[in-house]
Amino acid sequence: MILNIGLTEHGVDYYMGNTVLPVVTTCHDLGITVTNDLAPSQHINDTTVKAHQCADSILRCFVTKDTSVPLRAYTVHVRPILEYNCVVWSPHLKQDIDRIAKVQGGSPSGYQT
């Protein structure tokens, strides 16, 4: 597959053997969703969906009054999803920061952009 970065259309077909490689607007590489405009919003959306699913599974699996067990499970399983390669996709838009804060259970309004 071919991912053109920027707004330009090259109009050139690339081949592998006799097969034309498709042109795409997003691709997933090394755990990061890259778009043709290099905006992190799609990656943040994918990451928060995955983190919410993991956090929901933890809440369903642990039936205990001791909060340290689910908290430790959250720290071990959910936080790495949110923090993986964050240097590459560091959020700068308020909507992206709020989306991540909702997974962490924090107050989105407390974040400054």
Containing structural domain, residue 29: 2-106
Q: Does residue 13 form part of some domain? A: yes
Given a cut of 80, is residue 112 above it in pLDDT? no
Count Cβ atoms below 10 Å from residue 74 Cβ, excluding itself: 19
Give the mean pLDDT of 80-85.
87
Higher pLDDT among residues 93 and 54, named by residue: 54
Q: Does residue 113 form part of some domain? A: no
pTM reported for the whole predicted model: 0.71
State which H helix or E strand residue 81 sits in.
helix 79-83
Confidence (pLDDT) at 59: 85
- pLDDT category at 51 given cuts 50, 70, 90 is very high
Q: Does residue 87 form part of some domain? A: yes
pLDDT tens digits, 7-20: 766 678 889 999 99
Q: Does residue 112 form part of some domain? A: no
Q: Look at strands 15-16 and 19-20 and give their pairing.
A: antiparallel
The amino acid that residue 15 corresponds to is Y
Confidence (pLDDT) at 90: 76
Split into its structural domains, the chain has a count of 1
Q: Does residue 11 form part of some domain? A: yes
